[in-house]
Amino acid sequence: MKPLLLTILASCIAFSSLAGIELSGIQAKIDQAQTEAFKTQDTEAIDAIIESLEDTDNPSGTHLADYWTAYAYYQKAVYHAFGEKSEKEAMAAIKAGKKIIIDLGASRNSEDFALLTNLQSISLQYVQGMKIMAESGAAEDWAEMAMQAGPNNPRAFFVAGQYDFYKPAFVGGGKKAEKLLTKALELYKEEIVNPALPSWGFADTYAILAQMHAEKQPEKAAVLVAEGLERFPDHYGLLEVQQELSK
């Protein structure tokens, strides 16, 4: 059996094999709810999904439902951080999402650590003073745990590469981003998507890599944009880089 297929099967088992039919397509529903939040300036749609996932009578079970609840809090945090620009609401969502994953304890897997890295990364913009060292260190540690726990998990390498890309150069950022994101892209292309399991980060990987090469290697960036838009024709980040390259 191929290593990638083994990893996919392991992920399914680690998520308790409880991908109930109501969770099929849940990522797309949460992402759409976040889009609605930006349009309407209201998180009602995300809140409804969170409430449904937190329902103790939800037959989907524990780990997978918990993961998607934390993911919904992550998308809610993104809206509050970059849409509404409310630190209080963003941090409340971040803390709620992190608590869910942390409380999973020893059962946490690569997907959990990858999501935890993203939640922690958003919170760093609100950290001041010397606390930034410990808080950023936690994000790096969780990214490393994600890669170690899932060497064939594209999201593990995506969050690690994304973190390094946005990390300031004066503290060592930007040195590993291209290698990590290139690895993530390779793994995304091989991934067999299960509609009840995570698949996020693919389009953003294309966009960040293209952004990295836009200035010094525009031809390489253009190839990444074209390939990315073929898969994700409406992705804002890819369209933004495409516009930049056309100037």
pLDDT digits (tens, 9 = 90+) for 4-39: 444 444 444 444 334 444 789 999 999 999 999 999
- If you average pLDDT over residues 91-99, what whole number do you get? 98
Nearest CA-CA partner of 76 in 52, 45, 117, 103: 45
Does the residue 54 lie in any domain?
A: yes
Report the pLDDT value the prediction gives residue 61, as an integer from 0 to 100. Answer: 56
Does the residue 205 lie in any domain?
A: no
Report the pLDDT value the prediction gives residue 29, as an integer from 0 to 100. Answer: 96
- Residue 33 sits in which domain range? 3-173
Mean pLDDT, the chain, whole residue set: 90
Does the residue 231 lie in any domain?
A: no
Does the residue 27 lie in any domain?
A: yes
Does the residue 235 lie in any domain?
A: no
Does the residue 180 lie in any domain?
A: no
Full-model pTM = 0.89
Does the residue 212 lie in any domain?
A: no
- Higher-scoring residue by pLDDT: 24, 170: 24
* pLDDT over 90, % of the chain: 80
- If you average pLDDT over residues 184-190, what whole number do you get? 98
Structural domain total, the chain: 1
pLDDT digits (tens, 9 = 90+) for 118-153: 999 999 999 998 898 899 999 999 999 999 999 999
